[in-house]
Amino acid sequence: MNIWEAVVLGVVEGVTEYLPVSSTGHLILAAAAMGLGSPNGAATAAQLKEAIDRFTIIIQGGAILAVALLYWPRVQLMLRGVAGLAVPALRGDQARRGRHLIVLLIAGFLPAAVTGVAAGKTIKAHLFGPLPVIAALLVGGIAMVLLTPWHRKKLRGPGMPQGGPSHVDPLLALSWRGALLIGLAQCLALWPGTSRSMVTMLAGMAIGLPPVAAAEFAFLLGLPTLGGASAKELMDALRESGWDGFVASLGGTGPVMAGLAAATLSAAISVKWLVHYLGRHTLELFGWWRVAVAGAFAWAIAMGWIAR
């Protein structure tokens, strides 16, 4: 992998990771179009997955960094909540709110974490093929289009969850039970092509969060979810080939740094744009985009760019 290929994959990951369009599907298409994973033309799904997985460890780090920086006040709040357990001077309402946010993220993270560990090998063996990814893209896209009238009503109403200081911060008014429901929905995103952002945003709105708050929780939930997944993949890769071998398999330090920088910048732009967009529009545009990508995916198989 050279620097330009790393930049392209970094931008694809950064732009699509937090949009409800499935970064997995887009990365597979981008890698196939650039001929990654196979020296002799069409790559099998397994070859594409191997080529993408290791680099995704790095570029997902950029997406995580972008959200941590954009939502630094939230991160600070959580850090204060942890510090308040040991430092009396830091205790108070801010620390309490920070701990509540940590509880929400833990409740949202655990279902997918447990399911991923229990069923990860089965998912990789049976659901990473082109046809399951196309099906997930298509079904998710149609669902978002059909839910447009419901989403439009959400934009017109306050949609605050019941209880708590919803007039101040709808996200912190969320209960751990609501976060757990969002986390259970996030398990659906273990099916490649579904989109973690899509299911968590829709679940958040379904339990009463306004669209922007639902998107914010989806972004923050990505910190432990993506971080945990990337850490596991990195540990597996290091056990297999060590740090030097891992970096060499990605083309060296240059592509690694270029991909990380591209993912961080593009993810920051994508998140800022999406928050602004969701304050005024539904997810219908992304639904039609997913349908188009599913068609592109099918076309890539028909043309022999991706093997069945």
Q: Looking at per-residue confidence, does 141 or 236 come out higher?
A: 141
- Which residues have CB under 8 Å from 156's CB, separation 6+? none
pLDDT on residue 277: 92
pLDDT band at residue 159, thresholds of 50, 70 and 90? very low
The domain spans of the chain are 3-302
Burial 120-140 (b: 16+ CB within 10 A, else e): eeebeeebbbbebbbbbbbbb
Q: How far is 214 from 179, CA to CA, in rounded Å?
A: 10
Q: With pLDDT > 70 as the criterion, what percentage of the chain qualifies?
A: 89
Q: What integer pLDDT is reported at residue 219 of this predicted model?
A: 93
Report the C-alpha gap between 305 and 308 in whole angstroms: 10
Cα separation, 266 vs 250, in Å, equals 20
* 46: pLDDT strictly greater than 70: no
Question: Which has the minimum average pLDDT: 14-28, 187-201, 260-274?
Answer: 14-28
What pLDDT shows up at residue 163?
Answer: 40
The neighbour count for residue 249, using CB atoms within 10 Å, is: 16
Closest CA to 164 of 178, 184, 185, 182: 178
Instruction: Give residue-wise pLDDT tens across range 75-127.
Output: 999 999 998 887 877 778 888 999 999 999 999 999 999 998 888 788 877 77
In whole numbers, what is the pLDDT of the chain averaged over residues?
Answer: 84
CB-based contacts of 121, cutoff 8 Å, min separation 6: none
Residue 165 confidence (pLDDT) above 50? no
Q: How confident is the model at residue 51 (pLDDT cuts 50, 70, 90)?
A: low
231 has pLDDT over 90? no
pLDDT score recorded for residue 61: 87
